[in-house]
Structure 1
Amino acid sequence: MQGAVFLGDRKVELREFPDPEPGPGEVVVAIRASGLCGSDLHYYRDRPGAATTTGKYVAGHEPAGVVHAVGPGVPADVAAVGDRVMVHHYAGCTRCDHCRTGWPQMCSTAPTRVFGTHEHGAHAPFMRVPAATLVPLDRALGFAAGAAIGCGTGTAWGGLDRLGDVGGATIAVFGQGPVGLSATLLATARGARVVALDTEPARLVRARELGAVATIDPTAVRAATALRELTGGAGVPLVLETSGASRAASDGLASLAPWGRMCVVGLGGEVRFDVLDLHRSQMTLMTSWSMSIVQMRRCAEFVARNEVPIDDLFSHHWSLDQVAEAYEEFDKQSAGKGVIVFDGP
């Protein structure tokens, strides 16, 4: 089979790999959709020859598809040929407390394996994974939606969960890329009033379409000032930072109301503050690392039950042989979410 690999220096290409076969406790998934994630760009842009740009592993960590083959020792109620599934894209020891509570990315006894980085990922027709990583995909959801929930949309869900009950509250979502737009869509569905911030006008338009009650371009106005004006000077009780920009993190802190909570999910930036400036605010600052496998399932159930239009996040659908074009477009960071789709029932 052919699979896409990152070579660094904004290069991705297709290479030949053997068709995978399942070992004990494993399944092979026939991929139907494989999402492009913002974290992919770190490897796409990395220096050639780095550990993640050697062409050794198939890229892609947002898989959704159909169980194609089942290995020995996998109970039929866990996986059967033909099951529609998503994949939680981490694998740990399965025995430590973190793994047993659904957080294999926080495994305390073994190096975390990330599909698409340390193991073959989903930018290929087939993918071998431990059966324990599978999450059922409701027939009400398409495969592209399942792929999004596998990381980008699921990461937004995880960040919202970290912030607590958002219903009835105003939340500022910094960054309206795929994760930020997902947060805007999900927070709105969970009863929040979303103020969306981004420097790209087209993304602010999409945020409005997906439920934001107001939008702010931080290059046109001072973000913290604008947020305080929108809240009658009080500030916002909740902030979700998805852009990975240090300036956005600073603006988010500056816009918090007393007792406000801010969660950072964007990668690449720095969060700095003077303790004296914020000491009396009683604010809470936290991070969120994607989501647990339990949260992934709950996110999918919420989306299906409430008919949340996750498919509206997608601006581009690509075939595998268009992968170079797909990442060239995605690298511009001006559109919505992209997904590689494969033929199949």
Structure 2
Amino acid sequence: MLSANYIEPGRIEARDDATRPAPGAGEVLVAVEACGICGSDLHMYRNDSYRESLVRSTPEGYDVPGHEFSGRIAELGEGVEGWDVGEAVVGVTGYGGGMAEFVTVPVNPFQLVRIPEGVSFAEAATTEPMADGLQMVRKAAVAPGENVMVIGVGIIGLGVIQALRTKVPDIGKIIAVDIHDRRLDMAKTVGATDGINPKKHDIFEEAARLCGRENDYRGESANIAVVFDCAGYIKHIPGPPPLEIALHCLANRGGRIICFGGYEDRMSIDFGYVIKKEPVIMGSNGYAAEELAESLELMRSGTVDRNILISHHFPLGEVSDAFEAQGTPEAVKVMIDIEQAAA
């Protein structure tokens, strides 16, 4: 079986001698057609972050990443009912394995869902990050007219913007923040009203110009009701961590911050804003099961276009080039396409 093998930061290869897995009880074997490179995969590729939860080891000792993928059911494990060989499905695993010709997936609504007619395998492989965005928007409970900021507009942040446009049609401003103009342009394409590149503008000053400046006994704010932190902490990017920027921009009362982006290390921030502004800070990890199915229905109906977010395609044999591409300014979502010659 052809599979990826993550070795160490900056090193990943394709192997053609991995053992094909067999489905256990309550599992199906999926013949993978497409697998996306997640932001967490990229954290791992940079400095080994989250490795223990992002790879699945083969009997040969190959560490296979990939937890958001699509394909067709190739085999049914013992006790599996209601599913058929050949069905097109989205699979999600919390422990990798998807960057291979075959991967086993437990049968439950959090990890296996059917792909509706008209949705491509590549588009379906973006289901999990879209569901993540739906959960973040649900947790934020954005009210009509409220201004929001999305820090980090890779595939997750862009999904948040698509979810906001779907769930809160009468929202105020949606301000996208990213160091890459390519991603800011895409953010506007899918619904952001404005974009801020911190390499060119001070985030707080630009947000205050767009949304209005508040200044009272709690301090100053840029009248942002909700900040979605999809960037986390990337050590090599200079300046205050995104969480500190979020706290500064956040409204002086009633503000919410939804934290999703990964953290490559510990960080130092000015936490005084938390005392002054009394914000609600929530983590978001994953999605509700129904949000997987909802994501696919949004694609099927044309309510959201996920295909435009896929910037690059690579075959599995070029997985090293795929990871390098995902780290470039031009990339939004890099998709690994897997030919099923061995199926």
TM-score range, shorter chain: 0.7 to 0.9
- The aligned residue for residue 157 of structure 2 is 180
**2:316 paired residue number:** 320
Alpha-carbon distance in structure 2 between the residues aligned to 1:47 and 1:279:
34
Q: Which residue of 1 aligns with 2:307?
A: 311
Which of 102, 107, 125 is residue 126 of structure 1 equivalent to? 102
Q: Distance in 2 between matches of 1:58 and 1:293?
A: 25
Q: SS of the counterpart of 1:176?
A: coil
What amino acid does structure 2 have at the position aligned with 1:226?
E
Alignment of 1:27-66 (within 5 A): 27-46=28-47, 56-66=62-72
For 1:83-133, what per-residue CA distance to the aligned partner results, in whole angstroms no more than 9, with x for missing partners? Answer: 2111232xxxxxxxxxxxxxxxxxxxxxxxx231xxxx1111111121223
Contact 1:249 1:271 in 2 (8 A): no
SS at match of 1:181: helix
Alignment partner of 1:274 is 2:268: no
Aligned partner (choices 239, 258, 263) of residue 263 of structure 1: 258
The corresponding residue for 2:328 is 332
Classify the secondary structure of the residue corresponding to 1:39.
helix
Code of the residue aligned with 2:11 in structure 1: it is K
Structure-to-structure mapping, 1:1-345, within 5 angstroms: 1-15=1-15, 16-46=17-47, 56-75=62-81, 77=82, 79-89=83-93, 114-116=94-96, 121-132=97-108, 133-150=111-128, 152-165=129-142, 168-190=145-167, 191=169, 192=171, 193-234=173-214, 235-245=223-233, 247-257=241-251, 258-268=253-263, 270=267, 272-275=269-272, 277-343=273-339
Deviation string, structure 1 residues 319-338 (Cα, Å, up to 9, x no partner) = 11111111111123542101
Do the aligned residues in 2 keep the contact of 1:173 with 1:241 (CA within 8 Å)? yes
Say which SS state the counterpart of residue 287 (structure 2) adopts: coil
Is residue 241–residue 269 contact of structure 2 (8 Å, CA) maintained in 1?
no
Sequence identity, in percent? 27
8 Å CA contact 1:135–1:293 kept in 2: the answer is no
Supply the AA of the counterpart residue of 2:284: S
- Alpha-carbon distance in structure 1 between the residues aligned to 2:120 and 2:268: 37
170-179 or 296-305, which deviates more: 296-305
Q: Return the alpha-carbon distance in structure 2 between the equivalents of residues 65 and 272 of structure 1.
A: 43
**Which deviates more, 308-317 or 50-59?**
50-59
State the Cα distance separating 1:9 from its structure 2 match: 2.6
How many aligned positions are there? Answer: 312
Task: State the TM-score, normalized to the length of structure 1.
Answer: 0.83
Partner Cα separation in structure 1 for residue 28 and residue 210 of structure 2: 51
Find the residue that maps to 2:255 and give its secondary structure. strand
Paired amino acid for 1:201: D
Shifted more, 28-37 versus 130-139: the winner is 130-139
CA contact (8 A) 1:196 1:212 kept: yes
Cα separation, 2, equivalents of 1:209 and 1:223: 21
Residues in 1 aligned to 2:147 and 2:308: alpha-carbon distance in whole angstroms: 23
Q: Are the structure 2 counterparts of residues 305 and 164 from structure 1 closer, same or farther at C-alpha, using a change threshold of 3 Å?
A: farther
8 A contact 1:25–1:71 mirrored in 2: yes
Task: Measure the CA separation in 2 of the matches of 1:166 and 1:136.
Answer: 32
Q: Is the 8 A contact 2:115 2:296 kept in 1?
A: yes
2:174 and 2:116 mapped to 1: Cα distance? 27
Displacement of 1:279 in angstroms is: 3.2
Runs of at least 5 residues in structure 1 that lack an aligned partner in the other structure: 90-113
SS in structure 2 of the partner of residue 212 of structure 1: coil
**Contact 2:30–2:102 (Cα < 8 Å) also in 1:** yes
Higher mean C-alpha displacement, 167-176 vs 3-12: 167-176
User: Structure 1's 226 and 67: CA in aligned 2 closer, same or farther, altered over 3 A?
Assistant: same
Cα separation, partners in 2 of 1:28 and 1:168, compared to 1, 3 Å: farther
SS in 2 for 1:254: helix
Over 3 Å counting, the alpha-carbon distance change for 1:24 and 1:286 in structure 2 is same
Question: RMSD between aligned alpha carbons?
Answer: 2.4
1:306/1:8 Cα in 2 relative to 1: closer, same or farther (>3 Å)?
A: same
- 1:208 partner SS: helix
Could you tell me how far apart the structure 2 residues matched to 1:61 and 1:47 are? 16
Q: Which moved more, 1:220-229 or 1:263-272?
A: 263-272
Partners of 1:333 and 1:232 lie apart in 2 by: 30
Tell me if structure 1 keeps the 8 A contact 2:142–2:226.
no
189-198 or 9-18, which deviates more? 189-198
Per the TM alignment, residue 168 of structure 1 is displaced from its structure 2 partner at its CA by 4.4
Aligned residue for 1:139, secondary structure, equals: coil
- The residue type equivalent to 1:46 in the other structure is N
- Greater mean alpha carbon deviation, residues 261-270 or residues 290-299: 290-299
Secondary structure, aligned partner of 2:208: helix
CA contact (8 A) 1:188 1:211 kept: yes
